[in-house]
Structure 1
Amino acid sequence: MTGKERDRRITDLGTLKALAHPLRSRLYRNLAVARVATASQLAEQVDEAVSLVSYHLRKLAEHGLIEAAEPRSADGRERWWQPASEGLSIRDEDFRDAPDEAAAHTAASKLFADQRMDMYRRWLEERGSWDEKWNRTASSSESTLRLTADELAELDREMLALLRRYDEQSRAAEAAGETEGRQNVAVHTYAFPFRV
């Protein structure tokens, strides 16, 4: 892990709204995957004009979600960006006190869920182009458990600890030059109560 904050907790409505813009959330996700990138690189990934992407990156920076990174090339005209923290945390308890905040949190949560589902749908459409090993190891599962709220909180902590361990291992391996065979892997989990 770097010297960055592990998970920045978003507690203010302005920052939540800044991130909940569809293009900004895509840019943030792509930047988190790349770890550092220029507006030009991100514009190519999202198929938008560099000027538009630059504008939205500045908005993310205004809210402390991303920050300037050390230049990775000799071209001093290009500005490099990186996430300002290792991850983000958005909790219901920080937005439930006012109806407008609760509505914004719900809208943001739906946007993020839609974008995650779009990633999974894209995998389903493209999996034929991946080799058999990736197809064999990719997974989708659903488990239905009967837990207390405290047990659910503990499950969440344990799952996050496991993911962080793998993230730290992969960052250390990449820093040591061990990049062969590595691909970006999305792990989406949802844990919530429901009634039948």
Structure 2
Amino acid sequence: MPDEPLDDYRVLVAVGHPLRRRLLDVLRVEQAATTSALAERLGVAVGSVSHHAKVLAEHGLVVPAPELAKDRRERWWRLGDARISWSSTQFADDPAGASASAAAYDLSVRLQLERLQTWRTERGSSSREWQDAATSTDTWLHLTPEEARELAEELTAVLGRWADHGRQGEDPRRQPVFAFAHTFPSRP
């Protein structure tokens, strides 16, 4: 499903919370999990996960998955169909929306940089194969705003194809890999 621009900044408020963002990330990797498994993975109380999952469910970001439950006491969650895409100017005329947009973006960047720093400090404990496979790349481009949007759409499509590919078949060497990219005007 392609990303569609948000029309409600409250979705950004929902994903702008660090625990809810981590909960989404776990479900992106695991596909589905029980409330208790999520609580254990995130190191928080079951009640906290339940509350935050319900907030995300209000916006279609996660959905209950009762078909996975072994009994009525087990509460399963999986990712919903909703995707998150927004422009930094989309809510510029609404102070609450602009604040939510900035907070969600800042949290995303902080988490991306934290993951990168964790990899840098822990990469020596990974196999040589994974150390060789990890990449870092950047380049300078000369683009119009329209071309930058087209590039972003292409990058999103490539990452989406690879996200789907990673769910095909079982290879014991397959493990979660975090990929991110940013494009923005800048000067050297």
TM-score, normalisation: structure 1: 0.87
1:182 alignment counterpart = 174
Instruction: Provide the secondary structure at the position in 1 that maps to 2:154.
Output: helix
Tell me how far apart the structure 1 counterparts of residues 187 and 96 of structure 2 sit (CA, whole Å): 26
Counterpart of 1:42 in structure 2 is 38
Distance 2:58 2:133 in 1: 40
CA distance in 2, matches of 1:75, 1:121: 41
Amino acid at match of 1:194: S
Contact kept in structure 1, 2:56 and 2:62, CA below 8 Å = yes
Misfit runs of 4+, over 6 Å: none
Whichever residue aligns with residue 119 of structure 1, its letter is: R
The residue number in structure 2 matching 1:170 is 166
Which of 12, 22, 31 aligns to 1:16? It is 12
- C-alpha separation in 1, matches of 2:125 and 2:41: 19
Give the whole-Å Cα distance in 2 for the aligned partners of 1:195 and 1:52: 44
Percent pairwise identity: 38
Gaps of at least 5 residues in structure 2 are: none
Three-state SS of the structure 1 residue aligned to 2:137 is coil
How far does residue 16 in structure 1 lie from its aligned partner after superposition? 1.3
1:110 and 2:100 equivalent? no
1:99 matched to 2:91? The reply is no
Aligned counterparts of 1:194 and 1:103: Cα–Cα separation in 2: 23
1:159 equivalenced with 2:165 (yes/no): no
Q: Displacement of 1:92 after TM fit?
A: 2.5
Q: d(CA) in 1 for partners of 2:60 and 2:93?
A: 24
Residue 167 of structure 1, CA deviation: 2.2
Structure with the larger strand share: 1
What's the CA shift for 1:91?
Answer: 2.5
Give deviations 1:136-178, integer Å, cap 9, x for gaps: 110122212221112212222222222222223222x23xxx2
Aligned-pair CA distance for 1:59: 1.2
- Give the C-alpha shift of residue 73 in structure 1: 4.5
SS in 1 for 2:93: coil
TM-score (norm 2): 0.90
Contact 1:7 1:85 in 2 (8 A): no
Within 2, Cα distance between the matches of 1:147 and 1:51?
48
Stretches of structure 1 that go unaligned for 5 or more consecutive residues are none
- 1:100-138 C-alpha deviation (Å, 9 max, x unpaired): 321221121001110111111111222111100100110
Asked if residue 84 in structure 1 is aligned to residue 80 in structure 2, the reply is yes
RMSD: 1.9
**SS of equivalent to 2:84:** strand
> Is 1:140 matched with 2:136?
yes
Alpha-carbon distance in structure 2 between the residues aligned to 1:30 and 1:50? 15
Work out the CA distance in 1 between the residues paired with 2:54 and 2:164. Answer: 28
